[in-house]
Amino acid sequence: MPELPEVEIVRQSLSKKIKQKRVKKVIIRNRNLRFLISNNFKRNIKNKKIINIERISKYLIIHFFEGGYCLIHLGMSGTLHIIDNFNQSKFTNSSFYHSPTLPKKHNHVVIEFDTFKVIYNDPRRFGFFEFINNEDNLKQRFKHLGPEPFNKEFNLNYVISFFKNKSKDIKSFLLDQKFVSGIGNIYASEILFASKINPFKKAKSLNKNECKKIILNSKKILLKAIIEGGSSIRNFKDISGISGGFQKQFKVYQQEGNRCKNIRCLGIIKKKITSNRSTFFCDSCQK
């Protein structure tokens, strides 16, 4: 599943192309995504002008001049492809984890503009599209999420207070969107390695300095991943044909069996499966 950096790259790609453009036509080929696309969806966004594309956590939010918002979540395998009507690029994919060109199957939603179209492709159909009428409802839609790592609310007092008397391990908390939103399995492993914290350590046992490290490294690693264009785990290329580059800087994720990259550490990167998720960590320097 795309994490915060990957969704931010998608947002940037979309913003360059669809901002200040007006939706001309909407085609729904399959309403049966994670949530059923409403019968009113086409009517709600047709002929509306896009004035902004925002990202909240792992969600994309399209703002319309006439009011209302289109919420998009890419799920496990969803990708957005931009197809120019008159100059079709070799690469169409503005998303991650899939073919750089538009696949022939599983094109569920098509949003047409004057000279191009945006196509949503999703083999597993865990993504969704949702229209939200007003700002109050938009805020309500995200009230279950914790602060993003870049938010000023994600601070030392918040983290210490949240972890108080909590027996769950720290890795699980980094994946818990109610605690902090936007972090997934890749970046949770990298953040904990940079912080030299064992992923299975109980949250309540973390000291003040360890909490500081988690806050700092969450911001640092996610920002670096955005700058690098995200992590291309498979064969992703963006609409310019450029792959994300952060996977080249993985210290622990998918590095099982390799020597630890920390200076003077002789440890080996281990992999452990918990709750059907892979956790990567150094068996020596992550205490």
Q: What is the rounded distance in angstroms from the CA atom of residue 276 to the CA atom of residue 101? A: 30
The answer to whether 3 is a known catalytic residue is yes
Using the structure block, give the residue that is written with the tokens 């083999």.
123
| Catalytic residue (one of 17, 55, 58, 213) | 58
Residues whose CB is less than 8 angstroms from the CB of residue 104 and which lie 6 or more positions away in sequence, other chains included:
none
| Catalytic residue (one of 2, 5, 100, 149) | 2
| Catalytic residue (one of 21, 46, 166, 277) | 277
The answer to whether 261 is a known catalytic residue is no
| Catalytic residue (one of 3, 190, 210, 228) | 3
In this structure, are residues 74 and 7 in contact, taking their beta carbons and an 8 Å threshold? yes
> Taking CA 223 as the corner, what is the angle to CA 221 and CA 225, rounded to the nearest 5 degrees?
70
Q: What is the rounded distance in angstroms from the CA atom of residue 177 to the CA atom of residue 115? A: 38
Sheet of strand 59-64: strand arrangement: 50-56, 59-64, 69-73, 128-132
The answer to whether 6 is a known catalytic residue is no
The answer to whether 5 is a known catalytic residue is no
The residues annotated with a catalytic role in the active site are 2-3, 58, 277
